[in-house]
Structure 1
Amino acid sequence: MRTQWDAFLSTVQERGEYPSREEAERASRVVLALLGAHLVGEARAEPAARLPETLALVLLNPLQAHEPLPPERFIRAAAAWIEGATEKTATWDVSAVLSVVADTTGEDLMNRILIQLPVGYDLLFGHPQPS
């Protein structure tokens, strides 16, 4: 039987086209730690409850961001934390992980998450919002 952990990482690995589970896990940990620093309250707790426990803890226990990063700075921060990443590969990493998060959260929660984030994150989650 596939666990929630296996299912999440397999989907991230597939979307990110990573050659190994380890790369999918590393991208997931970095992106979720950065995301957790930008969310507060239920918008952080509810998606965490839908993630595998190990990744939920990463989302719930982030360093706090001094200010919400716009999407392009979020990607630069991810690139800085993912070994060997460039902004282009980090964009791929962020989108691979956040699109799986969006799939696990559902539309209502996704909208509440996007309200807390600067404009432009909808594209990173693969859920473009009408302007």
Structure 2
Amino acid sequence: MAMHRDAFLDRVQERGAYDTAYEADRAARVVLALLGAHLVGTDRTELAACLPETYALILLNPLQAAEPLSPERFVRATAAWIDGATEETAKWDVGAVLSVAAEAAGEDLTRRLLLQLPPGYELLFGHVRAG
């Protein structure tokens, strides 16, 4: 079942230590739009089903990525889309949003999502890949 929008935003705001829900929402929109370009098939649809409708639609109608971005480039791309962001703040934004999305998705789906992404995303999702 999808996480309620307010609950999702509260978690992102708490994780990201944002002053306002607006900042949490802005980070969630950018990160999920970029993430959606990297995911395909039923895994993306399943993740969307775990998210509030607003964010599910963003995930399912992503910004187009010409190529899969490494975690570092994903963070850089996030910084480019958020006014006033630096790579350091963008890393924080990505981690806050993806860790809450991973909680909503659960372990099994998160593991499958990580298999679709280039190596190194585990830390952004708040996971460490088991050997």
Please indicate the TM-score interval, normalised by the length of the shorter structure. Answer: over 0.9
Identical amino acids, percent of aligned pairs: 68
- The residue number in structure 1 matching 2:101 is 101
Structure 1: how far apart are the matches of 2:63 and 2:96?
A: 22
Mapping for residues 40-79 of structure 1, pairs under 5 Å: 40-79=40-79
Question: Is 1:118 aligned with 2:109?
Answer: no
Question: Is 1:33 aligned with 2:45?
Answer: no
The runs of 4+ residues in structure 1 deviating greater than 4 Å are none
Opposite residue 83 of structure 2, the aligned amino acid is: E
By how many angstroms is 1:66 displaced?
A: 1.5
Q: TM-score, normalised by structure 1?
A: 0.96
Structure 2: how far apart are the matches of 1:84 and 1:26?
A: 12
Structure 2: how far apart are the matches of 1:60 and 1:51?
A: 11
Opposite residue 74 of structure 2, the aligned amino acid is: F
**What RMSD in Å do the two structures reach over aligned CA positions?**
1.0
- The residue number in structure 1 matching 2:80 is 80
Structure 2: how far apart are the matches of 1:42 and 1:16?
A: 28
Q: TM-score, normalised by structure 2?
A: 0.96
Structure 1: how far apart are the matches of 2:75 and 2:36?
A: 14
What number of residue pairs does the alignment pair up? 129
Structure 2: how far apart are the matches of 1:4 and 1:65?
A: 28
Structure 2: how far apart are the matches of 1:110 and 1:11?
A: 17
- The residue number in structure 1 matching 2:23 is 23
The residue matched to 1:124 in structure 2 has which SS?
Answer: coil
Structure 1: how far apart are the matches of 2:44 and 2:130?
A: 24
Q: Which runs of 5+ in 2 are unaligned?
A: none
